[in-house]
Structure 1
Amino acid sequence: MSHPEKVFLGSLMKEQYLIKDTVIQPEHLESTRHQELMRRMVEFNRAGKSIDLVHLTTLPNLESYGGMSYLSELLSYAEVEKFDQTEQLILEQWKEREKRNILTLASLNDWEIERVIAQLDKINQLKMEDHTSITQALANIYEAPWEDLFTFKNVTSGIKKLDEMTGGFQDGEVTIIAARPSMGKTDVMLHFAKVAGWAGFLPLVFSLEMPERLLTTRLIASTGGFNRIKMRDPKRMLNQSQKNKWSDVLSDLDETQMQIFDGAGQTVAEMRAKTRKLMHQYPYKKPIIFIDYLTLIHTSEFYGGNTHLQVTEISKSLKTMAKDFHCPVVCLAQLNRSVESRANKRPMMSDIRESGSVEQDADVILFLFRESYYDKETDNHSLEIIVSKNRNGPVGTIRVKYNEHTGGIEDQKETSLPST
């Protein structure tokens, strides 16, 4: 591809939706003329103006961009089906230029080697390819019961089943699942993702904290009913009947067609780009997007470190993403420590960090609570799902059976309790 920047800008002019979804920033482009042009496109888009040829010819200093003839030339380069490759190429070329700049700076200013490495690492972390399909993830782990020890960190957590109160996940809606650590957020999310996959949806899991390998072992443990600790060394720890069950469990999970993206610090624009790509790959499946978790999403601006503004931007863009892709978005959230200091530790709306905008933008808010986590003596070993906001239905508490050893979730006979 001899002119990736021309292909890129031409494609943006041809298919306007791409500008919302691209991970490329103007400063990633090499030509200053292209940088300026992309900045104008972004401004037009923010102002709700179209960025096609006709609208771009209204640019006040059109000649400085090469005039109408250059814009027409760009449009003739458009290749929307190669858009993802083009982005990749531009990013790679930008990385190479950045690395050269760093090395020049380093030699001029006599940097310590540690500083050089840290700066180079920062650039390398920018990646589009953090995607593992469940098929690949399971292929990677297929031999585990017959292989020697892998090292896994032991993380305990819990999960829950979706039910009638909300009518399931709706297109264009955002569901927030919020809890303190160890209540079972990730397990709940993985449970939803599996169930959605088996029902024929395409579950896209953006895991900003936990690596793919750990999610895959959790999926296997909860599906096979294996104690999670055994997954540290399946060859030694799984018994014969569990080993006999292993390939069935994996093939059941493979049917979910789950897609896992485990890059840290992704932005909503990056998630949109990856979602769009997968929607082209699986045209007959409706995506359902899971994000673990809210405050780990990177924002487009730093806002001087103001978390409130960052969370507001994230929660607005999640809602826009759900609407634009016409699919459900499920996002996990951490709760403040304030819960811990109360006698009744059941979470409330004000426990969500920077809760204002989240409370406003979300369609459904679920809190998770396990009494047995706080009170070791209690007989109540269920996981409570507290529906505290529900745009299309009642609020209240549902109890499910949660196995903290396997991460498995099952319905309990009693379906719901009145609100407490």
Structure 2
Amino acid sequence: MSLNHAEFIVTGFEEMSIAEKAFLGSLMKADYLLKDTVVQPEQLASTRHQELMRRMVEWNREGKNIDFTTLPDLENFGGMSYLAELLSFADLERFEGMEKLILDSWKEREKRNILSVAAHNDWEIAKVIAELDRINQSKVDDHTSLQQALLTIYEAPWEEQTILQAATTGINKLDEMTGGFQEGEVTIIAARPSMGKTDVMLHFAKMSGWAGYLPLIFSLEMPEKLITKRLIASTGGFNRSKMRDPKRLLSENQKNNWANVIGHLNETHIQIFDGSGQTVAEMRAKTRKMMNQYPNKKPILFIDYLTLIQPGQIYGGNSHQQVTEISKSLKTMAKDFKCPVICLAQLNRSVESRADKRPMMSDIRESGSVEQDADVILFLYREAYYDKESQDNTLDIIVSKNRNGSVGYISVNYNKYTGEIVE
């Protein structure tokens, strides 16, 4: 009995039971989904389903094919007849929907549990809010397409505002040096805050989108609306400060060019995911969903930024182990999806204490694993960042590591007011 061929009038527990059966049946039918799902065994409502998924995860980690005939305690899981029933519920096309239903139900259970414990132990309200926020961070539905974002901002110049193969980098010399963004490779773009990392990332995203790729932006810090406004400003050459109130601040020429800028950006098919605290597993799930929606486009992932990615484990607060796990997971994701992954990273403050402030590999926070796993490492450096009187708009892109090519640096023009990058 497939969910595609039956209609169910169910509520509450019945609906959740069917969702979990369909979820587990799908995992049995396509065990590769075990690597991509954001659902953890303990988030299932049924203890029998929890234990069954744990067994499947263990087998998958050990590289074994799922074979329930070898289970010594098969009857504890309902026997072969129950496992066959689960398999009959498999529905790969609705897998993401099952995940969302299971996660939403888990969140509600967790919230009720937190409120009960908080009332019993007389928690302070700040602690209650923090715990509820932690639960809400697990989400797969924070997606906004740039097309949708542009549609909502299209009328802004005329509205009152209340006081968003290898892939080319769009920079010829950088393409010559690195070969562009290669599938299966991880590129790290590292710099001090306000050096221009996000603007460089958005430039790369636009250029790859116009070249036919599907850019997926995982913005863990900046909301979608700011990303959209930055894309419009850099594409149209608009001063970013004017984006606060386009109707009042844009010139008539800029307003006349607005529709052209929107139309040109729309062709990139950029997708924006702005949920905070995303894990690599969540990014994988969202990437697979986009690949199914755009089967003729190869994805290219942009992540802002490394240390804001939520690790799968806490490691007792050991940041080095957390970054090591994330770094390896990014490389695995790039290889599994055969796509480029570009991730921003912050530099340590130690660079500020040196006479020569050009960044080095050791300046990357928790640099060991990042240096090892990344295929390309780019540093950004602007002399004008340290000399506030300077009128120099040069931005140096330093290729510090290039697994398949040469190292060196190239210079581009960077307009810090619009975010525009020009060769």
Counterpart AA for 1:16: D
Instruction: Find the partner of 1:227 among 211, 235, 239.
Output: 239
Residues 1:302 and 2:314 aligned together: yes
Map of 1:8 onto structure 2: 23
- More displaced, 56-65 or 364-373? 56-65
Deviation at 1:324, TM superposition (A): 0.5
Map of 2:3 onto structure 1: none
TM-score, normalization: structure 2?
0.91
Deviation at 1:50, TM superposition (A): 2.0
Matches of 1:379 and 1:227 in 2, distance apart? 17
Aligned partners of 2:138 and 2:278 also within 8 Å: no
Instruction: Find the partner of 2:326 among 305, 314, 321.
Output: 314
Matches of 1:34 and 1:241 in 2, distance apart? 62
Counterpart AA for 1:176: I
Aligned partners of 1:194 and 1:258 also within 8 Å: yes
SS of equivalent residue, structure 1 residue 128: coil
Percent identity for Structure 1 against Structure 2: 73
Map of 1:246 onto structure 2: 258
Q: Provide Cα deviations, 1:73-129, integer angstroms capped at 9, x if missing partner.
A: 211111010101101111111122222223333444444555544443433343221
Map of 1:367 onto structure 2: 379
Matches of 2:405 and 2:124 in 1, distance apart? 60
Residues 1:354 and 2:369 aligned together: no
- Judged with a 3 Å threshold, the aligned counterparts in structure 2 of structure 1 residues 285 and 100 are, in CA distance, closer, same or farther, namely same
Aligned partners of 2:170 and 2:207 also within 8 Å: no
Aligned partners of 1:150 and 1:232 also within 8 Å: no
Residues 1:31 and 2:76 aligned together: no
Deviation at 1:43, TM superposition (A): 1.2
Map of 2:12 onto structure 1: none
- More displaced, 393-402 or 372-381? 372-381
SS of equivalent residue, structure 1 residue 346: coil
Aligned partners of 1:175 and 1:362 also within 8 Å: yes
Map of 2:295 onto structure 1: 283
Aligned partners of 2:170 and 2:208 also within 8 Å: no
SS of equivalent residue, structure 1 residue 57: helix
- More displaced, 118-127 or 400-409? 118-127
Instruction: Find the partner of 2:136 among 124, 134, 157.
Output: 124
Residues 1:389 and 2:404 aligned together: no
Matches of 1:89 and 1:127 in 2, distance apart? 11
Matches of 1:167 and 1:315 in 2, distance apart? 22
Q: Give the gaps of 5 or more residues in structure 1.
A: 153-158, 412-420
Aligned partners of 2:218 and 2:302 also within 8 Å: yes
Deviation at 1:133, TM superposition (A): 0.1
Deviation at 1:150, TM superposition (A): 4.2
Structure 1 residues 113-262: aligned runs within 5 Å = 115-151=127-163, 161=171, 162-262=174-274
Aligned partners of 2:236 and 2:258 also within 8 Å: yes
Matches of 1:88 and 1:212 in 2, distance apart? 21
Aligned partners of 1:160 and 1:187 also within 8 Å: no
Q: Provide Cα deviations, 1:359-404, integer angstroms capped at 9, x if missing partner.
A: 1111100000001111235564310000000011110010001111
Map of 2:354 onto structure 1: 342
Matches of 2:335 and 2:408 in 1, distance apart? 26
Counterpart AA for 1:50: N
- Judged with a 3 Å threshold, the aligned counterparts in structure 2 of structure 1 residues 368 and 111 are, in CA distance, closer, same or farther, namely closer
Map of 1:376 onto structure 2: 388
Matches of 2:106 and 2:153 in 1, distance apart? 35
Matches of 2:283 and 2:126 in 1, distance apart? 32
SS of equivalent residue, structure 1 residue 220: helix
Map of 2:304 onto structure 1: 292
Map of 1:416 onto structure 2: none
- More displaced, 308-317 or 160-169? 160-169
Map of 1:41 onto structure 2: 56
Q: Give the gaps of 5 or more residues in structure 2.
A: 1-7, 9-14
Map of 2:99 onto structure 1: 87
Counterpart AA for 1:8: F
Matches of 2:97 and 2:198 in 1, distance apart? 32
Counterpart AA for 1:105: V
Q: RMSD over aligned Cα, in angstroms?
A: 1.7
Deviation at 1:26, TM superposition (A): 0.9
TM-score, normalization: structure 1?
0.92
- Judged with a 3 Å threshold, the aligned counterparts in structure 2 of structure 1 residues 296 and 115 are, in CA distance, closer, same or farther, namely closer
Q: Provide Cα deviations, 1:307-352, integer angstroms capped at 9, x if missing partner.
A: 1111111111111101100010000100100100000000000001
Matches of 2:417 and 2:126 in 1, distance apart? 42
